[in-house]
Amino acid sequence: MNITNAELTVSPGRRAATYWFADGLEEIAFGLLFFISGAAGLLFSHWSHRWLGLVILIFFIGLWILLCADRPIIESFKARLTYPRTGYARPPDNPEPDQDILVDFLLPATRRRAPLTLWTARAVDENVTSFKARTVYVLLAASVATELGKGGRWSTATILVVTALFVFVLNRGEVRAYSFWTVFPMALAGLLSAAVELPSQSRQLLPLVIGGGWLLWIGSWTLVRYLRAHSKPDIGREGRS
């Protein structure tokens, strides 16, 4: 893993966690799932509801697989694309109990642990990421909120603007932070969606389409920049030299 001078003051664990997002593959994976599911839902909402139910089923199956096994799945792509270019680093884990209050709140049943004392205290591992809790779950919450709002034109637009704001605020200080101008396209797309004529049932899918498209755009742009900056070494040429 290549380390720049600006990263020397950061802990090795945090550098490894940041490196996980260097190629954008994590965002591309969830972005594809959200965008394709949302777009397919928009398409099938005009046809048979049976097909719409199938899309919803496939979405939740894909979401469950990614939430539970995103690291090994994405690592298989990194082994071919990323690690040959810039080296290997251990994938980040989820934060430990009491390390991230938001993760503890979202997963209370799995975060219970005996109280720590001076004798049982463990070293804090900084090779962790709250990407799913602070980005993926926020987009899912936006989808649920639009359903509760009955897919209203301006309620959906407002929810998407608030979602963009939450993604910006919640990820400040995280290993994968987003600037204001990075989340601005999501908010703008939410506002512009109010001008599009859509039935309420279709409008409820906009957080998946817009949020997924935003993640896919961020991840793809990150991947393009990464590939431009790091060419794959010519193993054959190195072996002959």
Token pair 């209203």: residue: 152
Q: What pLDDT is stored for residue 50 in this prediction?
A: 65
What whole-number distance in Å separates Cα of residue 37 and Cα of residue 212?
9
Q: What pLDDT is stored for residue 11 in this prediction?
A: 83
What whole-number distance in Å separates Cα of residue 126 and Cα of residue 120?
18
What whole-number distance in Å separates Cα of residue 59 and Cα of residue 40?
10
Tell which residue, 238, 233, 186, has the closest CA to residue 82: 233
Distances (CA, A) of 99 to 43, 91, 122, 125, 185: 42, 18, 12, 9, 31
Q: What pLDDT is stored for residue 67 in this prediction?
A: 82
Q: Phi and psi (nearest 5°) for 94?
A: -75, 150
What whole-number distance in Å separates Cα of residue 86 and Cα of residue 4?
12
Q: What pLDDT is stored for residue 238 in this prediction?
A: 45
Q: What pLDDT is stored for residue 52 in this prediction?
A: 67
Q: What pLDDT is stored for residue 152 in this prediction?
A: 82
What whole-number distance in Å separates Cα of residue 83 and Cα of residue 169?
31
Q: What pLDDT is stored for residue 19 in this prediction?
A: 95
pLDDT tens per residue, the chain (241 residues)?
A: 444 433 444 788 899 999 999 999 999 999 999 998 888 888 777 665 666 677 778 888 888 888 888 899 999 999 999 999 999 999 998 887 777 777 777 766 555 555 554 444 445 678 889 899 899 999 999 998 988 877 788 999 999 999 999 999 999 989 999 999 999 999 999 999 999 888 877 888 899 999 999 999 999 999 999 999 998 776 654 444 4
What are 159-179's pLDDT values in tens digits?
A: 999 999 999 999 998 999 999
Estimate to the nearest angstrom the gap between the alpha carbon of 88 and the chain centroid. 21
Q: What pLDDT is stored for residue 7 in this prediction?
A: 46
